[in-house]
Structure formats: structure tokens, C-alpha cells
Amino acid sequence: MSEETMADIISFVNQYFCDKHTIPSVGKIAQGVGIPRSTAYRYLVEMNNRGMIEYDGKARMIRTPIIRKFAPESAPCPFVGAIPCGSAQIKEENVREYIRLPVSLFGKGKFYILEVSGDSMVDAGIDPGDLVVVRTDCTAEIGDIVVALTEDNESTLKVFGGVDEETKNAILEYRNQAKYPNQKIFASQRIVRGIVKHVIKALEQELE
């Protein structure tokens, strides 16, 4: 296969993406480079085998090194409303929207995003209005910040403090020593609904 044709294909795909913000079909690549569609397909398969591009045989699943930088792999994540940090309240279940999280920053897994209200986690750096990215497909360890259901079937954001030996319930700890000194609540271990992995904050700056 021609190295020149491979370079032309990469150049065409990159330029098409920059101009139209989408990936060209195999037919568009064939037309743009001046080769038959079947030949373009064979080139794409070979270029994928050589590690020059990513191509899984589908019409618009072509990723060159340039495209990976401008359009990194991402996954949709539901933004499901607010969760309290002070006193536990029932969490809103309606999805506001879906936000795509770049895998390179957040990793792979099952996530959802919640907006924080209340002040019981300020010593952990989580303030009202922050967004927390919660992962559901992992197991909580002592010290993790978790979303859990209390014994009253209400949702809350707290630090996982282990398991009470008598009740076998999860210990959920506050992190606001000034307002809630050494305060704890309890929840069934079976209904810990995810671990906070990231906090997204809006920085407030005062202008002098």
C-alpha cells in the first residue's frame, strides 16, 4: 500500500474534521483522496492495524492523532439534581441533562453528577453549589465521601466511617467541626449509592 495515500487520507480526515467538526464517511474519504470506496476501506483497515489511526470498520468511527486531541474519548453522565450535605433529604431523581466526561480526566466507570446543598462537608472542601462526580461501580472504603440512603430512606452526602459492629449499618460522618462536632448518622451498607471521585467548583474572585 502507498505511504503517500495513507498520508493523504490522514490529511483529508483532519481537514474535514476541522472544517465541519465531524468525521467523514468512507465514501467522502474516497472522493476526497481520489480512490475507490473499497480501496479507501482497505486502507483504513490497514492503517488501523499499523496503529496510525483508530478505525473499527464503521462509517464514522475514524480517529487520527489530531482528532484524539481535539475530541478525546468521553462518556455521557447524567446530571440528576441536588443532594444535601446538612440534614438528609430525599434526592431529586429527574435527570436535568447529560454531560460528557472526558475519559482521560475522569477514567472509565459508571458516573452521575449531583449539585451540593448544605454545609456539613465544608471541612472536606465541598461547599454548597459544588458539583460532585459520583461513581457507582466501586466499593466504599473508610474515608471515602459517599452518597447513601439513611435509615429513613433519604439521600445524603457524607464520609464513610466504616460499619457499626452492633447494627452492621454504615457509619456516615459529617465534616464541619465548627457546626456539627463529631456528628454521625447511620445507613444500611447495602444502599450506599456511590463514591464521590471529583468535585467541580466555580471560583469566585473579588475585583478590587
Asked, for residue 97, whether it belongs to a domain, the answer is yes
Look at residue 14 and tell me whether its pLDDT is greater than 80.
yes
Give the global pTM: 0.63
Catalytic residues: 120, 158
Q: Distances from the Cα of 93 to the Cαs of 51, 79, 147, 151, in angstroms?
A: 43, 10, 13, 19
Higher pLDDT, 206 or 50: 50
CATH number at residue 7: 1.10.10.10
- pLDDT for res 158: 93
| N-term to C-term CA, the chain | 64
- Are 85 and 180 in a shared domain? yes
Q: Are residues 101 and 153 in the same domain?
A: yes
Tell me which of 26, 53, 70 is where a domain ends.
Answer: 70
Domain that holds residue 153: 74-200
Mean pLDDT (the chain) is 83
Bigger pLDDT: 100 vs 70: 100
How much of the chain exceeds pLDDT 90, in percent? 32
DSSP assignment of 157-192: EEEEEEE-TTT-EEEEE---TTTSTT-EEEEEGGGE
128 with 59, same domain?
no
Domain shared by 81 and 170, yes or no: yes
